[in-house]
Amino acid sequence: MHDPFRRGCQSLRRHRQATPALITTCCFQRAPLLSDPVCAGIVLDALRWMDAHRRLILHAAVVMPDHLHFVADPLDGDWPQLLGSMKGFSARRINRRLDRRGAVWQSQYHDRHVGSDRDLALAIDYCLRNPVRAGLVATAGDYPHFWSRYG
């Protein structure tokens, strides 16, 4: 079986242009707004749209009930600008979906530089295994709100 995360794997390097980061951002007051599958899909779709339109290179993302982790390279702007765009877009749609008003996202976020292929693989693995650690699924592949460029 091909392991896309093994050290030095060409599939990891093929998509890298900038220095990627593991980004974590939470829903406002850690409200579980993303437990609605449609809302989780809105967030994943927003990130994939940004990837398709060359705003970032998305390596992996996982949408948890009250927060988001993703690994990406910024291409068009810096992290505050990119996250502001994604959060604003997704917040409008999530509020419409849930028939609510108010903040969806906390304004802050945490970013961790991912420098090596090994660090990139570990960051993607961290996203993949987050639902298991949270007790949402028994097996990482069973979680529906995870996306990875590497299969």
Q: What is the pLDDT of residue 18?
A: 60
118-134 pLDDT per residue, tens: 999 999 999 999 999 99
pLDDT, residue 98, reads 98
Domain boundaries, the chain: 18-148
DSSP 5-40: TSTT-HHHHHT--S--EEEEEEBGGG--GGGSHHHH
Which tens digit of pLDDT belongs to each residue from 58-99? 999 999 999 999 999 999 889 999 999 999 999 999 999 999
Look up the CATH superfamily of 18-148: Transposase IS200-like (3.30.70.1290)
* Predicted local distance difference test score (pLDDT) of residue 107: 93
